[in-house]
Amino acid sequence: MAVLNKIRQRSLFLILIIALALFSFVLTDLFRNSDALFGGSQDVVATVNGTDINREQFMNRVEQMQNQLGPNSTSTQAMNRVYDQELRRAIMKSQFDDLGITVEQDQMKALLKESFSTYPEFQNEDGVFDENKLTEFVNNLKSLNGQSAPLGTFQINYSQWLSTEENIALGAKERTYYNMVKAGVNATLGEAEVDYNLENATRDLNFVQVPFTSIADSLVEVTKSDINAYINKHKDKYEVEAMRDISYVEFKEVASKTDEENLQSDLVSLLDNQLVFNETTKNTDTILGFRQTRNVQEFVNSNSDIAYTDRFLTKSQLPTAVADTIYNTPVGGIYGPYKDNGFYKLTKVVEESQLPDSVKVRHILIPHMGAQSAQPDVTRSMVEAKELADSIKTVVTANPSKFPELVTEFSSDQGSVNNGGEYDFHPITQMVKPFSDFEFQNDIGDIGVVQTVFGYHIIEILDQKNRSRAIKIATIAREIEPSEETIDATFTEASKFELALQKEDFNEAAESRDLEVKPVNGIKVLDENIPGLGSQRPIVRWAFDKDTKVGDYKRFSIPSGGYAVVQVVKSTKKGLMDAESASATVLTEIRKEKKAQMILDKITGTTVAEVAKNQNKATNKASAVNMKNPTLSGAGAEPKVVGVAFGLQEGETSKPIIGNKGVYLVEVTKVNEVTPLDNFQAIANRLSTARANAAQTKVYNALKETADIEDNRARFF
């Protein structure tokens, strides 16, 4: 009772303590999420010149983009594509607004007509674009409340249509903008004259080169302060984004030797008949094995990871490593199990025939509605197409000379129409299966009607070459995969290594367990792929998390099956590269500077001959050197050296010049002035065309470089 009284007396104090604790918790979360504290929006993917790119709209476009790119693309690839589009849209919008560039209603109508005039949905009975049909289509889309409708060969909803219109308008604005830019980048006649002089005014030179390689790197001392000074002097070259260096050990889920042996045993067990007790009839049934089965297609499809293929094969089409053995196996014989391309296989030869290795044919293709690649104006039904094909076959059978004119009149195969319907000698794999079966399994002169996904073909076999044995095979294939026991063992191994890192160094722990450590350097915040692991965005996000420190490690699942234990080795902040990271490129430049000074200190003499003798180097000659292509024979590109030479008079010698590959002394032996032109207009036109062609890319890159961009993608991806 006394205790309860004390609690009541101090209830206000307890409430205050609890309130302070809750307030502290809220403050901690606010500081952890600085955007919430300082007003940053959680719904902005990026801000470009003050314009926000909204997260919800951005994510919708990413989803649409990923659908367009197909199943092999990743969300990060789609995101980057959409970001580039949205970035361009925002950057160009500010230019359009400043210049008052718009697309008015009449212009938009003309643009839509230009873009969609060939679509049957927007054409009248005469095949002419009808604006009313376009308006009706858009109104119908709007009424579908987000549902899609067919347009051409794809589906589109109202939101996507608006986005399409927006893109069309954007394209028109960009064309207007870049046409204005191109109109202002024409070269003057004065610029054309300068370009002509740079290319045609030449100098003949004597020169001596004392190469930097004449001094060993070991004789040049470079300190850390030298590197830092160089970096600070050339800040624009050594500005870097935030980066992470990691190391990882991979634990792959790979089938063990025992797994492979068990897989082979399973295949062998399929060869012979099996006795199976039937619970329904209470009798023992005999299940025919692969040797005796009468329906190989059903047997293969019931027991194989790869479906049965009903096709004759030549020797060259069989798996290379076992082609000889399988090809020489008699009908009914079985080869295997054998290993091929990630599978264990059993192959049975079920039929043989004599087939040519190549065939020459001609054909007429009659398409129908719904046939693959059929044009929109094809209205005949499948039955009508078959009737037409049969009637054409009757005509060409009676009079083969009519084949070419019937090809021109009826065939829709544009790849052969201009050649009288002919396809020259080709292998069995070139055509779709029904077409291929007819041309390879019949004789020269045979004519037949064959149906494929493209419609009905009237085929005539013109010639065949090199008949030889071909076989039809039935193959049971089982993918080589790790068993549950192997998968569990891989997980255990990865977990044990991860636990060991609590006490052991990462590299030492890997070495003691005979595991390979793989380093990956220079990972950026929006990277996706980790060399050797493939798409691993979770690893990148973790490496850049504010709570992840150098030395931290974590286990991740990998797409190919298995795990990677990853450690952050180095964290580089955005800004100037540190001396250690920059040393690989900086050392060469600093050494060149120091070697140049060492060479200058040793040079005596004021002529090319004196310096060559003093430095024990050869005197070199260079003829017809020009400023447009400032190279020296035997020395390569040396623009500074050539530039100095063009400032000298004939017979004059330069002072020592520090070039790209060494220190030079140059003597001008002859000045070759240009032959003046009466008119420089042709050169001016060429320069104008080159500038106009380069303007679009260069202008956008310049706008992008000077834009105020806040990129928040790493928050969401």
Given this model, what pLDDT does residue 2 score? 40
Specify the 3-state DSSP secondary structure of 152: coil
C-alpha angle 370-374-375 in degrees, rounded to nearest 5: 120
Cα 713 to the chain's mean position, in Å? 20
Q: Which CATH number fits domain 358-465: 3.20.20.70, 3.40.605.10, 3.10.50.40, 1.10.3720.10?
A: 3.10.50.40
Given this model, what pLDDT does residue 638 score? 96
Sequence-separated (6 or more) residues with CB below 8 Å from residue 84: none
Sequence-separated (6 or more) residues with CB below 8 Å from residue 272: 289, 291
Q: Among residues 701, 695, 692, which one has the least CA distance to residue 88?
A: 701
| Amino acid in position 83 | Y
Distance CA 711, CA 52 (A): 10
Residue 211: beta bridge partners? 662
Strand 553-557's sheet: what is its strand order?
518-524, 243-252, 562-572, 553-557
Distance CA 37, CA 571 (A): 26
Report whether 177 contacts 96 (CB < 8 A). Answer: yes
Given this model, what pLDDT does residue 41 score? 56
DSSP string, 557-609: E-TTSEEEEEEEEEEE-SEEPPHHHHHHHHHHHHHHHHHHHHHHHH---SSHH
Given this model, what pLDDT does residue 688 score? 92
Burial (CB < 10 A; 0-12, 13-18, 19+), residue 433, is: middle
Distance CA 698, CA 310 (A): 57
Given this model, what pLDDT does residue 669 score? 96
> Using CA of residue 65, residue 69, residue 73, residue 77, what is the dihedral sign?
negative
Report whether 111 contacts 86 (CB < 8 A). Answer: no
Given this model, what pLDDT does residue 127 score? 83
Report whether 421 contacts 404 (CB < 8 A). Answer: yes
Distance CA 708, CA 696 (A): 20
Given this model, what pLDDT does residue 570 score? 93
312-313 and 636-637 beta bridge pairing:
unpaired
Distance CA 361, CA 396 (A): 14
Sequence-separated (6 or more) residues with CB below 8 Å from residue 445: 460, 461
Residue 479 Rama label (left phi>0; alpha psi -120 to 50; beta) = beta
Given this model, what pLDDT does residue 39 score? 41
Residues of the chain with pLDDT under 70: 1-42
Q: Where are the beta strands (DSSP E) in 356-487?
A: 358-366, 422-426, 447-452, 455-465, 468-479
Given this model, what pLDDT does residue 33 score? 44
Q: Where are the domains of the chain?
A: 2-40, 57-174, 202-238+580-672, 243-253+483-573, 258-354, 358-465
Q: Among residues 658, 678, 670, which one has the least CA distance to residue 203?
A: 670
Cα 325 to the chain's mean position, in Å? 40
Distance CA 170, CA 579 (A): 45
Report whether 500 contacts 518 (CB < 8 A). Answer: no
Distance CA 578, CA 287 (A): 73
Given this model, what pLDDT does residue 155 score? 86
Is there a shared CATH topology between the 243-253+483-573 domain and the 358-465 domain?
yes
Given this model, what pLDDT does residue 146 score? 85
Residue 307 backbone dihedrals phi, psi, to 5 degrees: -70, 155
What are 605's two structure tokens?
């003499």
Q: What is the CATH number of domain 243-253+483-573?
A: 3.10.50
171: number of CA atoms within 13 Å, CB side?
11
Given this model, what pLDDT does residue 36 score? 38
Long-range contacts of 296-305 (CB under 8 A, 24+ apart): 296/348, 296/350, 296/474, 297/474, 299/474, 299/476, 300/474, 300/475, 300/476, 303/270, 303/476, 304/475, 304/476, 304/477, 304/478, 305/343, 305/477, 305/478, 305/479
C-alpha angle 603-606-610 in degrees, rounded to nearest 5: 70
Report whether 173 contacts 622 (CB < 8 A). Answer: no
Please give the C-alpha separations between residue 449 and each of 75, 461, 622, in angstroms, as whole numbers.
47, 12, 74
Report whether 620 contacts 209 (CB < 8 A). Answer: yes
